[in-house]
Amino acid sequence: MLTIYGIPNCDACRKARKSLAARGLEFRFHDLRKDGIDIQMLERWSGKVGWETLLNRKSLTWRQVPESDRQSMSRDRALALMLEEPTLIKRPVLESDAFTAVGFSEQRFEDFLAG
């Protein structure tokens, strides 16, 4: 089963859901705030795409992280921060048994869904 992990009011998540629905693909939406996340999810995703890709450095939440922490960010610290504040996760995370994708791109979705 295809799962989209995100936040309902996120524009990229809405675009991804709309794109998948338009293709008639069945998926489940997992609200990162309401349904929660755990360290196993973050470790699984970061193992596939890298923690740097998973970390949303464009979010308002990221800008609130002290500059000294941002400069010396490590994998473990990044995962701990994402666990505390899910808006630090780049969205959406699209996951199935075959692949994991982070962020929305029509072309990337086409490539993943075709392969």
* Dist. CA 54–CA 78, nearest whole Å: 9
- Whether 13 is catalytic: no
Rg (CA), the chain: 14
A 10 A CB-CB count for 97 gives: 7
Catalytic residue among 2, 10, 49, 73: 10
Positions marked active-site? 10
